Amino acid sequence: QAPASPTADGIAAPTLGAASSLQPLQPQLPPPPLLPLLALPPPPLQPQQQLTTAFESTEVGLFWDYENLSVARSHDAADISNRLRALSLRFGRLVERRVYHDPSKVSSVAPNDRSRLDSAGFTLVDCPTRNEKETVDKKIIVDVMHFAITRISRAQAVCVVLMTNDGDYAYMLSRLRDLQVKVVVVYLAGHAADALLHACDHAFSWRADVLMVGEGGNEGGSPEPPVATAAHAAAANSRAKASAKAKRLESGQSGGAKAEKQRLRRWAERQVAGGVRKGA
């Protein structure tokens, strides 16, 4: 290594070789700023998580036209309420339950059933007849539309469960489906209007799926009935109507044969009586 050369003040200056051994200082860069956690996008939901979230956010309203579907004395209104709750919870959270009836009619809710339905969480809505016009269907239409539209306005998924046989509700249900409202109908097979069943997404039989009564009056329903589509429900309703019509025709024919036998017997009696008079 070459010796250091003296300067004018007698201090030795470093040679080129000594200077080359010095390392230049690297500039200190500031650390990158930490991103806030809220700025990070959430991880995408899996398909099963998306279905669960949509199910949990759906609010269900149950509206019961009691004049069309009434509870017989052989059934417990509390048990019917529990089955309706289980049925409705398959589509979301049950947040509204209403029973509409006219207390002045024989088909109205019995006093014992009224107490049990009230204890089960139902809101009993009295619909007295005004100027010979029924108000049940009008109140149901207004309440159902109010229930659905208030939730649609805040982007809330909604499902309406309507218990009736009346085809006058078909237009309302069709319009609700246009607004992406899920519509479920509980009906009595053989008595429901075809237009009502064609206007819903799913349908359940009142006797088989709620009362748990099979053919012949035997208990044989499934605890969790399958969700039937509108087409299957309409076909089942048509078969029930055809079966009822065939029974009526068979009953009428048997009644006609019986009347014919009675007519022939009376004719024979008159003939016998006439012969007796002639012989006398």
- Name the more confident of 61 and 26: 61
- Of the pLDDT bands very low, low, confident and very high (cuts 50, 70, 90), residue 218 is very low
Q: Is the pLDDT of residue 184 over 90?
A: yes
Q: Are 112 and 105 in contact (CB under 8 A)?
A: no
- Of the pLDDT bands very low, low, confident and very high (cuts 50, 70, 90), residue 132 is low
Largest separation between any pair of C-alpha atoms in the chain: 183
Helices (H), the chain: 16-20, 47-57, 77-88, 111-119, 136-152, 170-178, 194-198, 230-279
pLDDT tens track for 58-82 = 999 999 999 889 888 888 888 999 9
What is the Cα–Cα distance from 193 to 190, expressed in whole angstroms? Answer: 9
SS (H, E, C) 72-91: CCCCCHHHHHHHHHHHHCCC
- Of the pLDDT bands very low, low, confident and very high (cuts 50, 70, 90), residue 130 is confident
Report the amino acid identity of residue 267: W
- Of the pLDDT bands very low, low, confident and very high (cuts 50, 70, 90), residue 26 is low
Stretch 38-60: mean pLDDT: 64
Assigned token pair, 269: 């009696």
pLDDT tens track for 9-25 = 555 555 555 555 556 66
User: In 10 A of CB 52, how many CB atoms?
Assistant: 12
Stretch 140-160: mean pLDDT: 95
Sign of the dihedral through C-alpha 252, 258, 262, 267 = positive
- Name the more confident of 145 and 221: 145
Q: How confident is the model at residue 104, as a pLDDT? A: 77
Percentage of the chain with pLDDT > 70?
A: 58
Assigned token pair, 154: 């805040």
User: In 10 A of CB 12, how many CB atoms?
Assistant: 11
pLDDT tens track for 195-215 = 999 999 999 999 999 988 764
Q: Whats the size of the chain, residue-wise? A: 280
- Name the more confident of 150 and 109: 150
User: In 10 A of CB 122, how many CB atoms?
Assistant: 20
C-beta contacts of 186-190 below 8 A and 24+ residues apart: 186/69, 186/84, 186/87, 186/161, 186/162, 186/210, 187/69, 187/163, 187/233, 187/237, 188/68, 188/69, 189/236, 189/237, 189/240, 190/237, 190/240, 190/241, 190/243, 190/244
CA angle 157, 80, 228 (to 5 degrees): 50
Q: How confident is the model at residue 219, as a pLDDT? A: 45
